[in-house]
Structures are given as structure tokens and as C-alpha cells.
Structure 1
Amino acid sequence: MRYYLILLVMTIIGAYASFFLKKASSTDRIQILLLTPSLYAGGFLYLLSALLNIFILRYMDYSVVLPLTSITYIWTFFMSYFFLNEHITRNKIMGIVCIVLGGVFITLG
């Protein structure tokens, strides 16, 4: 159970990493991009997420860990809605439902 919690934290960190890189992408000049703190925050969080992934793979099957990393998309869905004011569509909701069901089937198997 402890490793599933670490995996959950890893997916949240990965979603925040993507969020910060999205914020960094708002510039159109490479010089400004290199000075943007969001770029470094996103890179650091991706590194942290990758290290947690390596740790988890020592204790859990790859065939379980990799599919469950798709939980990151669920956090990204909510973050894009609340922080980036993106719209929720029926297709996005259906995608989230499929991810949740897939995660349930993977953990039960």
C-alpha cells in the first residue's frame, strides 16, 4: 500500500511539472525562456518524479507501475480546468473514466 501512495505522489508531481512547463512556454524568445523560473521548477519536478518512478520500480511490477502513471492525466485534467481555465468536455470526461477504470483493472489483476 505504501508504494501505491508513493506512486500517487509521483503522478501529482509529474502533473505539476507539466503545469510549470506549460507556464514557461508562454514566451516566444529562448533568452526569456531560459530566465523563466517555471522552466526550472518544471524540470526539477520532472526529475523528482523520475527518481520516484525508479524507486517504485524496485518494489512493484513494471506492468503495474507504467499503466498507473496515466493517473497523471487525471491531475492534469483538474489543474488545467482550475488553473488554466480550460473547458471540460464530454470526451475529456470519458477519457478520465477510462483511465480510472484501467487503473482499477490493473491493480486488481
Structure 2
Amino acid sequence: MDNLGIIVGILAITTLSGSAGALALKQGMNELADLTVVKAITNKWLLLGSFLYIVSAATNIVLFKYLAYSIAFPMTSLTYVWTVFISYFTFKEKITPLKLLSIGLIIVGVVIISR
């Protein structure tokens, strides 16, 4: 792979922005006592989460330039790995042995499918 650095960078941006976007949306929803259109479109966390999702989607599309779809799309499952760790620090969610096993399986799957 001649473009390994580019691929890893784009994959990192795609997965981290997707994970951070979901977490920002969660934070935004936590702050809303009642959901109205006006409150939703003016909530800074919901706006940030939406922006990060757009970044994730755009960089995912760029990733398809460098990798086959059957390899690139499964690699985006790393988003779930980041989500577990980020939610641990931001929302104080527990990381259970089952979650650690799941993370390990995702990483093994990504490595296998990328070969």
C-alpha cells in the first residue's frame, strides 16, 4: 500500500469524527428538557454533532478512493471502539469485560479484513 499514511489518517478522521459526533448528539439530547425544532437547531451540541457526522461521511467517501468498499466500510467499525473509550471519559460509562472482548473482536476483524 503506497498510500498507507493517507489511508490511516483518513480512517482516523472518519472514525473519530463519527464517534465524537454521536457523543455530541447524546450530550445535546441530555441538555434538552423538551425537544422542539427551535431548541434542536439552536443547541450547540446538536449542531456540533451534526457537523462532525458530515465530516465523517465526507472523509468516508474520500476513503473509498483508496480502498475497496468491502474493506473500507468494515474498517469504519472502529468508530465503535472510540465510542466506548470516549463515553467512558465523558459520560462515566463503565467498560465491562464484555465490552473489552467486543473491542478486541472488532480490532481483530478489522485487521483480518484489511489483509
TM range (shorter): over 0.9
Query: Corresponding residue for 1:22?
Result: 26
Structure 1 window deviating more from structure 2 (11-20 vs 24-33): it is 24-33
Structure 1 stretches of 4+ with a deviation exceeding 3 A read none
Task: Report what 1:90 is aligned to.
Answer: 97
> Any stretches of 5+ residues in structure 1 without a counterpart?
none
| Alignment partner of 1:5 is 2:21 | no
TM-score, normalised to structure 2, is: 0.88
Amino acid at match of 1:107: S
Q: How is 1:33-48 mapped onto 2 (pairs within 5 angstroms)? A: 33-48=40-55
Amino-acid identity (%) = 36
State the 1:5 CA deviation.
2.0
Query: Any gaps of 5 or more consecutive residues in structure 2?
Result: none
- Farther-moved stretch of structure 1 (49-58 vs 25-34): 25-34
Q: Hey, what's the Cα distance between the residues in 1 that align with 2:40 and 2:90?
A: 20
For the residue of structure 1 that corresponds to 2:66, the secondary structure is: coil
Which segment is superposed worse, 27-36 or 10-19?
27-36
Two-structure CA RMSD over aligned residues (Å): 1.1
CA distance in 2, matches of 1:42, 1:58: 25
Amino acid of the structure 2 residue aligned with 1:45: L
Counting matched residue pairs gives 108
Q: Are 1:66 and 2:87 matched, yes or no? A: no
2:57 matched residue in structure 1: 50
User: What code does the residue aligned with 2:113 have?
Assistant: I
Q: Which moved more, 1:3-12 or 1:60-69?
A: 3-12
C-alpha separation between the residues in 1 aligned to 2:35 and 2:71? 40
Task: Give the alignment's TM-score, normalised by structure 1.
Answer: 0.93
Deviations 1:14-62 (A, max 9, x none): 1110011001111133243332111110111111111111111122100
